[in-house]
């Protein structure tokens, strides 16, 4: 089992100001949360066009996106290693199944026994290096129904060149300890999966992966 207490503490401290900082970064259209609200709205709109009901949110944080879906009757399961983030989420979506778990260790046993229609990972998978990201996604595909979709919203660009542009633009605040996805590379990871990418800002976008 990996122990990540330093990282967990970082997120526990961030929980209090997280929503405000996201809003500010989005308003300024700046890394890391440029286009955050547009992205949440797009994910909600996408899910509303399906008949699906069971949603897993990996790295659910303060539950902003999950709340939009919970209020419309979706069943929400959320994973996060920060108890403080989960405390906030619990107040927003009290009947959701919230699991305190470090996804660097894969998915918890209680999740691996279930099936989900949609799996969301919103601004969280960049904490894993590519090989761990790929194994987490493989586990996620195992618990996804046929034709279900994994939705990853994050700091993602289509090409390496675009990522380098974003990094240079925001070099003063760029976090080199995070591992951002590049669509051109990621689409080679899974051959049986239908993938598409929607760009929402110079540094962010949504990756859809349908089984
Ligand atoms: C930037 S926040 C994103 C939160 C939320 N999904 C959103 O869109 O606002 C990243 C979240 O992932 C969680 N997280 C990061 N690494 C994690 C890990 N290895 N296991 C579980 N949760 C993790 C953090 O605690 C935090 O709540």
Name which residue sits closest to atom 20 of ligand 1, judged by CA. 102
In angstroms, rounded to a whole number, what is the distance separating the alpha carbons of residues 37 and 3?
Answer: 32
By C-alpha distance, which of 112, 107, 156, 101 is closest to 135? 107
pLDDT in tens, 57-107: 999 999 999 999 999 999 999 999 999 999 999 999 999 999 999 999 999
Q: Which domains does the chain have, with CATH numbers?
A: 5-210 (3.40.50.150)
What's the pLDDT band for 191 if we cut at 50, 70, 90? Answer: confident
DSSP per-residue letters across 95-160? TSEEEE--GGG-S-HHHHTS-EEEEEEES-GGGS-HHHHHHHHHHHHHTEEEEEEEEEEEEEESSH
Name the CA radius of gyration of the chain, rounded: 16
Angle formed by the axes of helices 18-27 and 36-48, to 10°?
100
Cα 80 to ligand 1 centroid, rounded to whole Å: 6
Angle value at C-alpha 84, between 2 and 94, nearest 5 degrees: 110
Angle value at C-alpha 50, between 49 and 55, nearest 5 degrees: 120
In angstroms, rounded to a whole number, what is the distance separating the alpha carbons of residues 46 and 152?
Answer: 13
Q: Is 102 in the pocket of ligand 1 (CB under 6 A)?
A: yes
pTM score: 0.97
Residue identified by tokens 């209090």 is 16
Name which residue sits closest to atom 9 of ligand 1, judged by CA. 61
Nearest-atom index, ligand 1, CA of 104: 19
Q: Is 116 in the pocket of ligand 1 (CB under 6 A)?
A: no
pLDDT in tens, 19-62: 999 999 999 999 999 999 999 999 999 999 999 999 999 999 99
């Amino acid at each position: 089992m990996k122990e990540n207490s330093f990282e967990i503490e970082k997120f526990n401290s961030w929980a209090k100001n997280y929503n405000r900082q996201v809003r500010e970064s989005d308003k300024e259209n700046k890394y890391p949360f440029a286009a955050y609200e547009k992205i949440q709205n797009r994910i909600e709109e996408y899910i509303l066009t399906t008949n699906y009901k069971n949603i897993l949110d990996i790295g659910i944080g303060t539950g902003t996106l999950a709340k939009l879906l919970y209020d419309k009757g979706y069943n929400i399961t959320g994973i996060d290693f920060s108890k403080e983030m989960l405390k906030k989420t619990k107040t927003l979506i009290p009947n959701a199944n919230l699991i305190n778990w470090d996804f660097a260790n894969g998915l918890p046993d209680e999740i691996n026994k279930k099936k989900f229609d949609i799996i969301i990972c919103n601004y969280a998978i960049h904490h894993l290096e590519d090989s761990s990201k790929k194994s987490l996604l493989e586990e996620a595909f195992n618990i996804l129904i046929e034709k279900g979709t994994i939705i990853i919203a994050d700091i993602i660009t289509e090409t390496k060149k675009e990522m380098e542009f974003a990094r240079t633009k925001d070099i003063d605040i760029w976090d080199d300890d995070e591992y951002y996805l590049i669509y051109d590379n990621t689409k080679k990871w899974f051959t049986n999966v239908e993938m598409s990418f929607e760009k929402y800002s110079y540094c962010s976008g949504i990756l859809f992966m349908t089984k």
